[in-house]
Amino acid sequence: MVKANAYGHHLDLITPLIENADILAVSELSEARQLRQLTHRPILLLSGIYTMQELQEAIDLNCQIVVHHPSQIHLINNSTQALSIWIKIDTGMHRLGLSSKKYQQHLPHLKSNTLISIECVMSHFACADDKSHPMNQQQLAKFETLTSDENNRSMANSAAILSLPASLFEFVRPGIMLYGASPFTDNNTGLKPVMRLSAPVLCLKTIQAGEIVGYGANWIAKKKTTLAIIGIGYGDGYPRHAKNGTPVLINNALCALVGRVSMDMIVVDIGDIEVLIGERAILWGDEKLRVETIAEHSNTISYELLTGVSSRVKFVRSK
C-alpha cells in the first residue's frame, strides 16, 4: 500500500519498497499517474473507475482495477480492450464492495468475458486492529464461504498479517506496518520507525512559578522552569491537540510539551538537561518516542499523523 503519498513518506523516497513489491496499491488515478512516473511495476487502483474516460486512463497507465460496484461492471464489460481486475466483496464493513448476492450474480459474466482477467478476489476487515473482535472471524468465514482457491484471494491488511494467520491468502496488503508503525494500540510488534520528524530548538528561556506558556494560558509553571521553543507546529503537521505532557525527545531525554501547540512552534519543559540553540528535537520516529505515542496523547491515530506532515517540511532520505 503506497496510497496517500506512501502514507506521508513520499513516493520518491521509498525506492526499496517499490522495487520489491509484487504490486503497488493506490487509492485514485492521480496517485497512479504520479507512481507510474517512478516504476513499471503493476499498480492496483483501489477506488476503481467511474467513467469510460477514467477506464481508458487506467488502461493506459497499466493499472489493475478494483471493481466494487455494479456500475463499474457495466463499464468494464463495455470495454473493447483487455484489462485486469480485482473483485471486492463487502463482508461486513459496509464501505466499498459488492454484496454477496451481487458478487454471485456478476461473477459468471465477468469470467465469461474473454477481455477480462480476474487477478484476485478481495475484501477488507473492519476491526482487525482489535485482535479479539468477533467481526474478524465473522468476516473471514463469510469471505471463505463466498470464494474458493480457484481465484487468488486477498483479505489481510497490516493488522491481520500480524495477528490473523488464517487470513493470509495469495495476496496480503501491508500498509502502515511497511512504515514501521503498529496497527494496534500497543507497540509490541518489533516494527522499526521509517519516518523521523525533527525540528530545531529556536530559543531557550527560564520562567518563574506562576507564569504561563502559550495561547489561552492553559499551562502555568509550578516552579522555576527552563523551556525550549521548538520550530514546529500544526502548520507542519504536528497535532494541535497534543496534550500538555506529550513527550518530545531532546538529547536522548524525554521532555514534556507545555502550553498549546501553535502554528509554527511548540514549547517544551527541558528540566535540567543541557540543550543548545540549533539542536534538533525529535517529535516522533525513534524507539524511545514512537508516532503511536504522540497519536495517543493527541486523541488520534498514527495514520493521520504520518499522512498529515505538511509540504513545508523538508523530507530527506537517511543514508
User: Which residues are part of the catalytic machinery?
Assistant: 3, 215
Enumerate residues 6+ apart whose C-beta is below 8 A from 317: 13
**Interatomic CA distance for residues 314 and 279, integer angstroms:** 16
Per DSSP bridges, beta strands 43-45 and 153-154 are unpaired
**Interatomic CA distance for residues 35 and 158, integer angstroms:** 22
Q: Residue 312 is placed in which grid cell?
A: 513545508
**Interatomic CA distance for residues 217 and 210, integer angstroms:** 11
Burial track 209-239 (b if 16+ CB lie within 10 A, e otherwise)? eeeebbeeeebebeeebbbbbbbbbbebbbb
Q: Please compute, for residue 290, the number of CA atoms within 13 A of its CA located in the half-sphere on the CB side.
A: 22
Asked whether the beta carbons of 86 and 68 are under 8 A apart, the reply is no
* 3 state SS of 294: helix
**Interatomic CA distance for residues 194 and 178, integer angstroms:** 8
What contacts 24+ positions apart, CB below 8 Å, involve 301-308? 302/176, 302/181, 302/182, 303/7, 303/176, 303/181, 305/237, 305/239, 306/7, 306/8, 306/9, 306/176, 306/179, 306/181, 306/195, 307/4, 307/5, 307/7, 307/8, 308/8, 308/237, 308/239
